[in-house]
């Protein structure tokens, strides 16, 4: 019964909050409509998302978000420096294959998004069996270091949060 009314409680809560933020005011009107959205959207989309993702350590999410935000600012400065000052001939782009220990699709999605947002790396493809991510680096003299950095900095934390 609960599964039918609230198949994704977290999604419902997120929709509720996002609608209130969009309206930018707290009135009876907006609260009622936010509640309707939070109930109806998860029910309509349930066939496309049958399994509920588990969060084993949700308290670790804020720390992860802060680390990623910090890295994004640093990434911006690094990439700007490369764009402005590095001669084209000294640029060493590289493809890197990052083997994954993560298995839940949601965790892999978050990891791929994080890789794209942070220092000089873009995630491009997933292995057929989903056990590796293909990453393109803007400037990587040492591709192995990039791989280890992604694994220790982001994947380890995501594994704690999701698995």
Partner 1 sequence: MPFWAEITVTLFLVIAGLFGLVGSYGLVRLPDPMTRLHAPTKATTLGVGGALIASMVFFYATEGRVSTHELLITVFLFLTSPITALFIAKVHLHQRETPDDLPTPAEGTGWAGFAAEGPARGVRDFPPDPAGDTATPEISR
Binding residues vs partner 1 (CB under 8 A): 18, 21-22, 24, 72-73, 75-77, 79-80, 83-84, 88, 91, 93, 95-97, 99, 112-113, 116-117, 120, 122-132, 134, 136, 138
Cβ nearer to partner 1, comparing 103 with 131: 131
Cβ nearer to partner 1, comparing 52 with 122: 122
Query: Tokens in use for 148?
Result: 């280890």
State the burial class of residue 150 (Cβ atoms within 10 Å of its Cβ: 0-12, 13-18, 19+). buried
Cβ nearer to partner 1, comparing 7 with 133: 133
Query: Least separation, in Å, of the C-beta of 83 and partner 1?
Result: 4
Query: Least separation, in Å, of the C-beta of 5 and partner 1?
Result: 26
Residue 6 per-residue DSSP state: -
Query: Least separation, in Å, of the C-beta of 151 and partner 1?
Result: 15
Mention every residue, 6+ apart, whose C-beta is less than 8 A from residue 97.
132, 133, 134, 135, 147
Query: Least separation, in Å, of the C-beta of 130 and partner 1?
Result: 8
27, 1 contact by CB (below 8 A): no
First to last CA, the chain: 26
Cβ nearer to partner 1, comparing 44 with 73: 73
Query: Least separation, in Å, of the C-beta of 7 and partner 1?
Result: 21
126, 108 contact by CB (below 8 A): yes
Cβ nearer to partner 1, comparing 5 with 95: 95
CA distance 57 to 157: 10
């Amino acid at each position: 019964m609960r599964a039918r009314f609230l198949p994704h409680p977290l999604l419902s809560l997120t929709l509720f909050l996002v609608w209130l933020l969009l309206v930018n005011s707290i009135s009876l009107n907006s609260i009622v409509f936010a509640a309707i959205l939070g109930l109806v959207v998860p029910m309509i989309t349930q066939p496309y998302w049958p399994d509920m993702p588990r969060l084993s350590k949700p308290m670790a999410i804020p720390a992860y978000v802060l680390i990623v935000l910090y890295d994004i600012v640093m990434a911006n400065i690094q990439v700007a420096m490369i764009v402005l000052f590095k001669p084209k001939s000294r640029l060493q782009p590289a493809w890197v294959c990052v083997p994954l220990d993560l298995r839940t699709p949601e965790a892999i999605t978050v990891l791929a998004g994080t890789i794209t947002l942070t220092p000089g790396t873009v995630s491009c493809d997933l292995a057929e069996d989903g056990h590796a991510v293909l990453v393109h680096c803007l400037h990587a003299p040492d591709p192995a270091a990039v791989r280890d950095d992604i694994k220790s900095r982001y994947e380890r934390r995501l594994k704690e949060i999701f698995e």
